[in-house]
Amino acid sequence: MPLIPVSTIHGEPAASNLLHVGPDSAVLLDWDESGYGPVVLDLGFPLINEFLSHDLRFNGAAARAFYGAYRREAGFLPTSAGGIFTAALFHALRSMMFHDLEARWRRIVHAVDHEQELINATLTPTNDSA
């Protein structure tokens, strides 16, 4: 069984926690959920919580850009696409206690029903990140 890569992780890499400091750079804010753990947790967080809206629209372009940029900067994704989807489900379930429980549950069910579409977005690089 392969080892799961671990590192310092942010815990909540969301658009609301980004500060753009230049045309091609940003910094992550709000490190209260950070720690040392499986990198896949940071990779999974935005797949459902950020890229799938409450009205169930999937922003595949943003997902491909995010994973493509990670792949471009790191040279690879340190885990499988299925592992990223599993981590995304973990975060989506963890977030259910906040705000509208029914809306969050609908988003999780939708994500499971469209699992392959979400996984494909982690695998397919954008033209500028190929």
Tell me the CA end-to-end span of the chain in Å, nearest whole number.
29
Gap between the Cα atoms of 106 and 110, Å rounded: 6
Q: Please give the pLDDT value at position 49.
A: 93
Q: Residue ranges per domain, the chain?
A: 38-129
User: What is the DSSP code (8-state) at residue 26?
Assistant: E
Read off the pLDDT of residues 71-112 as tens digits, 9 standing for 90 and up.
888 877 777 888 899 999 999 999 888 888 899 999 999 999
Classify residue 122 as exposed, middle or buried by CB count within 10 Å of its CB (0-12, 13-18, 19+).
Answer: buried
pLDDT digits (tens, 9 = 90+) for 10-65: 999 888 998 989 887 889 999 998 999 998 999 999 999 999 999 999 999 999 98
Predicted TM-score (pTM) of this structure: 0.85
